Structure 1
Amino acid sequence: MPVLSAITLYPIKSCAGLSLQEATVTTLGLMTEQIYDREWMVVDNDGLCLTQREHPRMALIKPTLNGATLEVQAPGMLRLAIPLDLPDPHTAPTLTTQVWDDTVLAYDCDALTAEWFTKAIGVPCRLARFHANAERPVSAKWTNGVQASTMFSDGYPILVAGAASLDDLNQKLVAAGRQPLPMNRFRPNLVIDGIAAFEEDYADSYRIGEVLLKPVKPCPRCPMPSIDQDTGAFGPDPMDIMQSYRAKPEVDGALCFGMNAILIAGQDQRVRVGQEIEVSLAF
């Protein structure tokens, strides 16, 4: 029986994740202790999102939960405590952010936080938090008209990957004289063990207890899988190996790993590592 083998929530877009034993599933993505996946995002002075694609040192910014704060740390820097209490939506400073083609209202975190992230990443930047009154719909082109929203993810609230898919890629890397890669190179929220390699590509749904997820779009991969999440440096690069068999015509030939998914049923239900998953195939 397929099982849920890993849960990871990324509080700050493009920074390190929180490995969890259980999490709450919402229409906006995973949530734990009132922290949502990709609820925060680092932006430049024009509000444009910063990612590891251009700033691989972001991988070294590691969050931890500590009571009523989200603490972040980076090499050579003191820890920074970010309050978890939501700001007053009527009086808190705001800024307009841009995530790819979407313009999103966000809370503007304070100057001390901006200074910390500027030093950690090495470019002028600020930390933005998804605003309580903001909404960011996903592309209905891929959801067959089903309405869904996300926060600061690239496009969809939940990313699912199969453990055997990584095993398959690693076998090809080793055969080519390369080192195998950990799953964190691909930054999924949920990892499924016990299914065939890339079987997640052909699933119609994943049922985890009361939670029903619908995979809607293959996840095109940018250069981020080439970034070592432990060092913040590029290499080794799996993209040339993926080019040989992971180009998907339905997304204009992009190299894909994992499936973007939306929540169909089970809002605010908990899922846990080791829980059985019913995978229904689309044929």
Structure 2
Amino acid sequence: MMSIRVTDLFIYPVKSLRGIRLERAQLDIRGLEDDRRWMIIDDKNKFVTQRRLPAMALIQTQLTESHLILKSSQGECAIARQYAGTGTPFSATIWNDEVQVLDEGDAVSAWLSDALDGLHANEPNLAKQKKWRLVRLANQPRPMSKPQYLGAQTHTVFADMAPLLIANQASLDALNSALVAKGETPVPMNRFRPNLVITGLAAFAEHRLAGLAGQGYQIRFGYPCERCVMPSIDQMTAAKHPTMEPYITLRDINSMPAYGKGEYAKPANPKAAAFGENAYLAHAQSSLLLVGDTFQVLHDES
């Protein structure tokens, strides 16, 4: 059987802010520990990402034993990992889900608003006069997202849909070869914000697998990740590519394949780009993942 190796592990403590590379991470049905445990909302209690505010990529995150630290050109802001506020839960929207959240307070909101306003100084209509707030999930779990593809027991916190995003290094290499052939600049893996990066598969072969088998657990693949315009945002500068690369090239070489079965079958979509697999933990309550871990591939038994 083919052996697959983990080359990188990433978490993104605050949705759409800069991530953290790890050597090890605990995995459960909600994904990697500390991944997307906070998100930013607007004055209508709706989630905000780089799709709307590209400069969110420039705010760094750090985790200590006791605090989440946010860093930008405006300085630092510390948030206790154990909720220290006095607020009551309220409803916020992430995609089609209504979630109960807790606000991290006015001081954090003021810091975020100043930071994002400063980072978007050349785009005043995006951030000016906005009051951005940082929230965490309250005690009530988020409603299930796509259990027909992601398993009946999975949950996410503030990831878009799936607990995990698995990316294949060979797929990025193929994309970069196609970009260079067009005279474009290669892009790093951080454009796609994966949780796990793996090697050992051919380019885009991940879309033809059922998942990966580790020691005493499985990571099941739910469906290919349909990409939006976010990969066109440079994660180090927040600049958008003027012609939406690498999205256009990715769509040309790896459009969304068909997935699902029976009433949940989805046809291929040649107008959309795919990169990576939305995935979840199966056959275990939790597992420790390490850079260098190896997997065996799982194929669909049907």
Match of 2:60 in 1: 62
Unaligned runs of 5+ in 2: 118-126, 259-265
1:141 aligns with 2:151: no
Of 248, 256, 260, the residue aligned with 1:248 is: 256
Which residue identity does 2:64 align to in structure 1?
Answer: N
Alignment map for 1:1-283 (pairs within 5 Å): 1-31=3-33, 36-74=34-72, 76-87=73-84, 92-122=87-117, 123=127, 124-143=131-150, 146-235=152-241, 237-250=245-258, 253=269, 254-282=272-300
- Does structure 1 conserve the Cα–Cα contact (< 8 Å) formed by 2:27 and 2:286? yes
Which residue identity does 1:179 align to in structure 2?
Answer: T
Q: Which aligned runs of 4 or more in structure 1 are off by greater than 6 angstroms?
A: none
Aligned length: 275
| TM-score (ref. length: structure 2) | 0.87
Which residue identity does 2:236 align to in structure 1?
Answer: D
Q: Percent identity at matched positions? A: 35
> Shift in Å at residue 147 of structure 1?
3.2
CA distance, structure 2, for counterparts of residue 185 and residue 219 of structure 1: 13
Which residue identity does 1:68 align to in structure 2?
Answer: S
Please give the secondary structure, in 2, of the residue aligned with 1:180: coil
CA distance, structure 2, for counterparts of residue 26 and residue 238 of structure 1: 32
> Shift in Å at residue 116 of structure 1?
1.0
CA distance, structure 2, for counterparts of residue 147 and residue 266 of structure 1: 11
- Does structure 2 conserve the Cα–Cα contact (< 8 Å) formed by 1:41 and 1:49? yes
> Shift in Å at residue 60 of structure 1?
0.6
> Shift in Å at residue 249 of structure 1?
4.8
> Shift in Å at residue 220 of structure 1?
0.7
Please give the secondary structure, in 1, of the residue aligned with 2:111: helix
- Does structure 1 conserve the Cα–Cα contact (< 8 Å) formed by 2:251 and 2:274? no
Please give the secondary structure, in 2, of the residue aligned with 1:241: helix
Which residue identity does 2:115 align to in structure 1?
Answer: A
CA distance, structure 2, for counterparts of residue 17 and residue 265 of structure 1: 28
CA distance, structure 1, for counterparts of residue 248 and residue 275 of structure 2: 13
Match of 2:261 in 1: none
CA RMSD, Structure 1 to Structure 2 (Å): 1.6
CA distance, structure 1, for counterparts of residue 216 and residue 7 of structure 2: 18
